[in-house]
Chain A
């Protein structure tokens, strides 16, 4: 029995992929459309009818340390070898372009609880990218002129979602400042206050990146995802996209979630400090979490790679909302020149104002 999973069209036998526009499974060859549930049932039936006696070779056993973490699968469509790392759960055959998912990738703890299906397709990703790059003033001209995307990948990224109730308390140093004057002196009175606040709040679905291959700041840059649109996981949603299973465990992800919870809780309490204070500084704080629950989810992102001056630039788009993030190159000469111009202008204006007001 194969350790790969391909969704074949019941009508023509072509590869079926998840279509983000219609939210159905669609055959790219005959344009037939099927519901995700129907395709899942069809796939299970096909697997039960396959010959269980046939053993596929697991070719990764003798590769040694150099290729540790790599796995080789045999494509069911063309028989070609698919080499990928062991966290890969969905990929594409490099020979026949068939979309395949790895069956073992979702067993036991690796089975996601929920998945947010793609809402935006590849064309939408390209459009958003072009809007993001736009006609920016400081973008190098040759980057604009030769701007082409090397690769666009639709990827499901493993995320840990943390739900919890929080009891937080915080102590702030606050000051009120008042001034008055007589004929000779200006007096400043600074009153110091000890401000205490405590309160409860709940958090739902705080995401923490569960993939070591995906930079955490990239995933956080395209937040938020609307988890209310998530559905129960079905492997069929992965058809047509790449996917990894988590390799950063829940225990390793928890500190990042706690850090974000603490910052938000202290900030929420700080917003309740009113009373015309001139300054509010957090002195100490305590945050206790209750009823913490975590879930394993797959979030949809589009990754766009482009190369400029030999440097790879990665852009990422939220596959649900279309929010785009990435670091664009800057024409340093132009940036420096404009900076000097702004500096000269502001300095001149300040000096002219001084000249008029103080008669210099």
Chain B
């Protein structure tokens, strides 16, 4: 009886381990293993030389900043959207906790950049728009995949470097700085004029106090006021909405199937 119980226990543990393994395999099975590679060109849009060159540059970033940035291309994301595919690709490969992957999905004809860890803050909404929407997208739109990935690597290094130094990214241009200064100077001037006029008119009124009285409050007979009728009737209401000013440092996030938080977006 005791022997049977021991066998049953071992069988139960084996069954449990097997079921967990099958579940893990089922989740990761659609997400190819990169074998530690930072460039995985499954859609074959890059030449071997280009892959090696990009791999070297991404490896240097990885070494320098302890953050993994990868490239993956595929013509079959299975039943996953590009966002799910990119998130899982980063989660189920052996990358640093901080970093991101740029996915080119030829079946969806879409690019998606997924960030994780500190890279979510580094690639905030403004940085994402500047790097991918304003600069990288045009290469892919022109069919120049290598150019797009190369630009991605360059901008990624700039962005991560600025983040590690605590600087704003994208850098604010001198024109924008002066434009903002002029706007604030104009607002300061306007506030200065309004407050000065109020103060000086108030001072002037102390020198010139000859004026008509608007009413006759001093001549109301004490306790003579009696309110006879009083009603307030609601008529209608209006609702207006104004867009909130964008927070420059805001990062949009979502949660992947693994439960990890990711940033980034499609472009």
Contact = CB atoms under 8 A, between A and B. Distances in A.
A222 B244 CA distance: 53
A346 to B, nearest CB: 4
B235 interface: yes
Contacts of A269: 227
B187 interface: yes
A268 B212 contact: no
A330 to B, nearest CB: 5
B215 A260 contact: yes
A188 B217 contact: no
A189 B184 contact: no
A268 B242 CA distance: 37
Nearest to A205: B219
A218 B243 CA distance: 53
Contact of A185 (B208, B219, B238, B241): B241
A56 interface: no
Nearest to B182: A360
A110 interface: no
A176 B177 CA distance: 40
A201 interface: yes
Contacts of A189: 237-239
Interface string A219-239: 011011000000000000000
A47 to B, nearest CB: 38
Given A186-B244, A192-B237, A136 B215 contact: no
Given A199-B227, A224-B218, A181 B233 contact: no
B214 interface: yes
- Majority secondary structure, B binding face: mixed
A342 B238 contact: no
Nearest to B252: A183
B194 to A, nearest CB: 9
Contacts of A347: 188-189, 191-192
A343 B190 CA distance: 10
Contact of B184 (A191, A215, A358): A358
Interface string A145-182: 00000000000000000000000010000100000010
B65 interface: no
Interface size band for B: 35 or more
Contacts of B181: 360
B164 interface: no
B259 to A, nearest CB: 23
A184 B214 contact: no
B240 interface: yes
Contact of B215 (A267, A327, A328): A267
A61 interface: no
A342 B200 contact: yes
Interface in B169-196: 177, 180-181, 184-185, 187-189, 191-193, 195-196
A203 interface: yes
A351 B185 contact: yes
B7 interface: no
Given A272-B230, A347-B188, A347-B189, A223 B213 contact: yes
A228 B238 CA distance: 53
B47 interface: no
A31 interface: no
Interface in B219-234: 219-221, 224-234
Contacts of A215: 210
Interface residues of A, number: 69
Contacts of B214: 260, 263
A343 B243 CA distance: 33
A326 B210 CA distance: 6
A204 B203 CA distance: 34
B52 to A, nearest CB: 43
A330 B216 contact: no
Contacts of B185: 351
A34 interface: no
A260 B216 contact: yes
A48 interface: no
B204 interface: yes
B188 A218 contact: no
Interface string A269-292: 100110100000000000000000
A187 B243 CA distance: 9
A329 B231 CA distance: 50
B225 A200 contact: yes
A263 B191 CA distance: 33
B243 A196 contact: no
A339 B226 contact: no
Nearest to A347: B192
A268 B230 CA distance: 13
22 contacts: A139-B207, A189-B239, A190-B238, A192-B236, A195-B231, A198-B229, A198-B230, A201-B221, A217-B210, A263-B216, A264-B217, A268-B217, A268-B225, A325-B209, A328-B207, A335-B200, A347-B191, A350-B192, A351-B184, A358-B184, A360-B177, A360-B180
A-B pairs with lowest CB-CB distance, top 4: A347-B192, A264-B215, A350-B188, A202-B224
Given A260-B213, A328-B207, 13 more contacts: A136-B207, A174-B232, A190-B238, A199-B225, A221-B210, A260-B216, A263-B214, A273-B232, A327-B207, A339-B196, A342-B195, A346-B195, A350-B188
Interface of A: 136, 138-139, 169, 174, 181, 183-206, 215-218, 220-221, 223-224, 257, 260-261, 263-264, 267-269, 272-273, 275, 325-330, 335, 338-339, 342-344, 346-348, 350-351, 354, 358, 360
